[in-house]
Structure 1
Amino acid sequence: MKKQKRDMQERAFSRGYRAGVERRSKDLAPPGTQRDAWMAGWRSGRADNWDALTGVSGIHKLVM
């Protein structure tokens, strides 16, 4: 099994971060157990967006 499928919290954080950087609504957060990780990622992504860490300057923050 791939590591990506095993660590659902990290995956939710990464997806939330991308949504925050792309200025998407926090209403898109998934219901259930991954919501907290997604929201933490979304907040981090929004903060980076406000600090102009988008595109190439913020690529080091993305977890693939």
Structure 2
Amino acid sequence: MKRQKRDRLDRAFSKGYQAGIGGRSKELCPYENLTSRSHWLGGWREGVDGRLTGLFNK
């Protein structure tokens, strides 16, 4: 059975979330496309929020 690739926007959100948890700057967003960039930043915001509320320890 073939594995399907995840949606690109879902992947952008997930990568942004991981960056937010890791404490990386939002200026390091690798996407130039406005739609992908906005999903990455949305994930980044949620990751930072989760880290600041104590969900993750670094």
TM-score between both structures, scaled by the size of structure 2:
0.82
Q: Please name the residue that 1:27 is paired with.
A: 27
5 Å-filtered alignment, 1:40-59, equals 40-54=42-56
In 2, the alpha carbon distance for the partners of 1:24 and 1:2 equals 29
Structure 1 portions without partners, runs of 5+: 56-64
TM-score between both structures, scaled by the size of structure 1:
0.75
RMSD: 1.4
Structure 2 portions without partners, runs of 5+: none
SS at match of 1:3: coil
Number of residues paired by the alignment? Answer: 53
Structure exhibiting the larger radius of gyration computed from Cα positions = 2
In 1, the alpha carbon distance for the partners of 2:19 and 2:13 equals 10
Q: Which amino acid aligns with 1:19?
A: A
Task: Give the % identical residues.
Answer: 42
In 1, the alpha carbon distance for the partners of 2:41 and 2:47 equals 10
How far did 1:14 drift? 0.2
Structure with greater helix percent: 1
1:2 to 1, 4, 10: 4
